[in-house]
Amino acid sequence: MATQQASIADTASHARSAVFAGLDAADGRPDLFAPLSDGMSSAFAASARMVAQGIEASLPDAATLLALLPEALREGSAQGYARHLVHADPLARFSAMLIVWRPGQHSPVHGHQTWCAYRVLRGTLHERHYRWDAQQRRALPCGALTRTAGDTFSVPAGLRHIHALGNDSDEMAVSLHIYGVDQEHIGSGVNLLVDAA
Ligand SMILES: [Fe+2]
């Protein structure tokens, strides 16, 4: 496994404005591409599930993956959850990151611009779920789950799965995330930030 490692800042906010500008532009017109879009959603969801299965079947154990991070980076950052690139696919098809969550740190509420899958390597993460309300143009809470070390999940691209991840425990948490973007677009091409109730 390559051990390319770099910290990643999340610059997804501009993606939000671009996507929602597209939604606004489509108002009042028949969406000729809707059937194709629905089919692509299913394909992306299937891709994400296959990646999650690949994580379980092909990657080493948690201790080996955690060792990709230098000791100092395993302590996280007081500025917020810290993302570190640990692998970039040579063909630019996907990137892998380790995310270090200190107690009380959370992601923003977001959909996804690409498929992704993640595995909890250490500690416990809490995942809050939301559903997209197209009329209000915001996400409404619809449940929550606790993810423990060893749990692996996939998330399709789009607004069908909107969530926020975070560490509500008193212990450090670390998770591995695989995203369907090249390393240059992790900061801007993964999260799709949305307004939430
Ligand atoms: Fe996510």
CATH number where 161 lies: 2.60.120.10
Q: In this structure, is residue 51 part of a structural domain? A: no
Q: How far is the CA of 52 from the centre of ligand 1 (A)?
A: 14
Give me 162's structure tokens.
């909107």
Domain that holds residue 166: 6-24+57-193
Q: In this structure, is residue 39 part of a structural domain? A: no
Check pLDDT > 60 for residue 11.
Answer: no
pLDDT of 63 reads: 96
- Say how many domains are in the chain: 1
Nearest in space to 5 (alpha carbons), one of 121, 115, 83, 90: 83
- Cα→Cα distances 116→52, 135, 169, Å: 8, 27, 24
Q: In this structure, is residue 52 part of a structural domain? A: no
Rounded to two decimals, the pTM is 0.85
Q: How far is the CA of 154 from the centre of ligand 1 (A)?
A: 9
Q: What is the C-alpha separation between 192 and 14, in angstroms, rounded?
A: 9
Q: In this structure, is residue 38 part of a structural domain? A: no
Q: In this structure, is residue 63 part of a structural domain? A: yes
Check pLDDT > 90 for residue 119.
Answer: yes
Assign 2 a pLDDT band (cuts: 50, 70, 90): very low
Q: What is the C-alpha separation between 156 and 113, in angstroms, rounded?
A: 9
Q: In this structure, is residue 47 part of a structural domain? A: no
Q: How far is the CA of 69 from the centre of ligand 1 (A)?
A: 21
Q: How far is the CA of 180 from the centre of ligand 1 (A)?
A: 12
Q: How far is the CA of 120 from the centre of ligand 1 (A)?
A: 13
Q: How far is the CA of 58 from the centre of ligand 1 (A)?
A: 22
Q: In this structure, is residue 186 part of a structural domain? A: yes
Q: In this structure, is residue 31 part of a structural domain? A: no
Q: How far is the CA of 90 from the centre of ligand 1 (A)?
A: 23
pLDDT of 8 reads: 61
pLDDT of 80 reads: 95
